[in-house]
Amino acid sequence: MPKNLMIVESPTKSKTIYRFLNKEFEIIASMGHIRDLPTKEFGIDIENNFKPHYVLNSDKRKIVNKIKEKAKGSEKVFIASDNDREGEAIAWHLKEILKKSIPESSIYRVVFNEITKSAIQQSIKAPGYVDENKVNAQQARRILDRIVGYKASPILWKVIAKKLSAGRVQTVALRLICEKEEKIKNFIPEEYWKIEAELEKGSKFTANLEKYNSKKLEIKSESEAKKIFDKLEKAKYIVQKFEQKSKEQSPFPAYITSTLQQDASKILGFSPKKTMRIAQQLYEGVEVSGKNIGLISYMRTDSVRISKQANFELKKLIKERFPEKYSISFLRVYKNKNKAQDAHEAIRPTSSFRTPESIEKFLSKDQIKLYTLIWKRFVATQMAFAIISYTQVQIKADLGLFQADASNIDFDGFMKEYPYITVKYKGTKIPKLKVKDEVKLLNLLRSQHFTTPPYRFSEAMLVKKLESEGIGRPSTYAPIISTLTARKYVNIIKKKLHPTKLGIEVEKFLIAKFADFFNVSFTAEMENRLDEIENGDKNWQKLLKDYYSKFILLVEKIDVKKEKEKLSKITDIKCEKCDAQMIIKWGKNGQFLACSNFPKCKNAKNFITKENGKIEIVKDEETDKKCEKCGANLVLKNGRFGKFYACINYPKCKFTIPYSIGLECPLCGGDLIERKNKKGRFFYGCSNYPKCKFITNYKPVKMKCPDCDAKTMFKLHSKKDEEKFICLKCKKKLIK
């Protein structure tokens, strides 16, 4: 029987670690957090120094009992949860439960940055104990978020709509998005003109007018542009300055969480959430040649540090893989901006010799893409500088000064492996010139332009902004964006973050009432204070006391009735049931028209706002289908999860049936219905669910079945070089 027990977070991680331990160890997975604050109550004893009341997660009772049983029969228990605040909190909760049945002295904490044999064995040889400071920092964050959630969110429910949420950090992110939208909305384009000259001296090149009369160029009208243009047409063009210089371009450090999310978004098109999900898989272990192997180091990190062992192995790989000119004689070391963030290494492969091409066949398409990106960035860190030459020429013409720039990559260096570097003026060429050379004017061009509004945030740009402002930490970037989209505060359209009407309304209200709490500088400072708690420099309970005492005063000042009246807009539309005025209200799915006599009259209507600002009621489409309960006609409605038929006598008669798209299910012959999931995406499923579980995200297509005369088929899936269809008539499947 094994003497020792090791507790990890996930089954995948346990499989990988098991390979490196002897038979004296048994491994069990806690499946993440086992305890948390209660879901249906505040769970914080404010009077008792902010003591949290933790409860066992309902779905973890069986696994916790199993862990207790295994621990009782073990000499030592090693808790190997992830090496961050959340992981430390998981370890602490496990210790608190286990110490009731086994001696606390036999419970150890082990951490490793990578799941490799050497890292695991070294950690077991020198085990530690749960870091209480780290746990306190996590508790403080959790309680701060609970204070905001439980004290501010109910105000939103009463004033705007039910099931809305106010988040301490998510609201600041929403504020950034809404402020950007406001700038775009209020942006007024300004006219400006550019003048460029096509010149020749040995070969052709183009130069832009940068200055006129020794001032930076600002031409704001066509008449002004023409006046300057006429003078420049007659001028001589004389070289005033010609400069050539070379610059060594250093490689970027290995990825940290934020830079990985940004590059994965820009280069691979992955969302931060998807990036972190795949990175977690690579970290915990993937089956390679029948063995679970951890492929990358821990992926939630702010540190750019790399261990000497990993760097020396990398230098050996570079020497074997590339010509000698790509190697460097020294060890390139990157320094962190904040020493407190040095607990982890940067994100890197667990072995640089595990090249992408050697493991490609064992990984999914997305896994290999992300692994390759991580591997390339890491390999580049110990490769030679890239050498880039820059050329600049300035040409005097009357009172104008033209300038042309060009660059060339003389030696690619690290860019051979990591080519995702933007080189300014790449591809342009300038002939070799001398000062006082006269160049020939071939053509002079003037063009009208207008200033453009600021760009909306992409997910990558928002992560970069949050990081630069010191908001959030590696583990929070992806959840922040996921929460904003899940709450319908933000829509992602063409990879850009657009605030919804609901999001804008929530942001306006929260900022108006809690401006000092939901601002960038305050939130960034709070992150620093949490770091101070982790470092043992600040008392977590004092921090909570200061925050709560100020926050609760603002909550108590809010007059819910007045705020609700401000948001309710009276219209000139009359209620057809009681003749009262209809008013615009907010609901969990957006704005709607409601009778001002509510709750006596519960009449409500959906509406749209026309371009001229007029409100138009969205009428339900009456059909010839009959209600099975009262015999009245059914109307076609748009609901939260898609279209459906409802009795025209609603709410007296609440009969409904799903909306059929007029096609049979290819599996059982039932009606196919169009539905919408929680994210607002449409799919098609069988009306006989759950007996028949046919479901597809694809629309039916007009395509002739090769086995019968049917002209419609359903697309089931689309993989690389393969599309699978099913005939709705003969049920035969076709791979195209």
* Residues belonging to the active site: 298
Backbone dihedral angles phi then psi of residue 703, each to the nearest 5 degrees: -155, 130
Closest by Cα among 59, 86, 171 to 534: 86
β-pair type (76-79, 107-109): parallel
For residue 666, cis peptide bond before it (omega within 30 degrees of 0):
no
The amino acid that residue 261 corresponds to is: Q
Q: State the residue for tokens 């301490």.
A: 168
Write down the number of H helices and E strands in the chain. 18, 37
**Secondary structure class of 706 (helix, strand, coil):** coil
Give the whole-angstrom CA distance, residue 264 versus residue 274. 9
How far is 707 from 731, CA to CA, in rounded Å? 10
Mutual angle of helices 11-18 and 272-284, in 10-degree steps: 30
C-alpha 28/C-alpha 13 separation (Å) is 10
Alpha-carbon gap, residue 485 to 489, rounded angstroms: 6
Phi, psi (deg, nearest 5) at residue 256: -110, 175
- DSSP letters spanning 281-338: HHHH-EEETTEEE--B--S--------HHHHHHHHHHHHHHS-GGGB-SS------S-
Sorted by sequence, the CB contacts under 8 Å of residue 328 that are 6+ apart come out as 382, 383, 384, 385
Which structure tokens are listed for 28? Answer: 């069990």
H/E stretch holding 132: helix 132-159
Q: How many angstroms separate the CA atoms of 587 and 132, rounded?
A: 43
DSSP, residue by residue, 369-407: HHHHHHHHHHHHTTBPPEEEEEEEEEEEETTEEEEEEEE
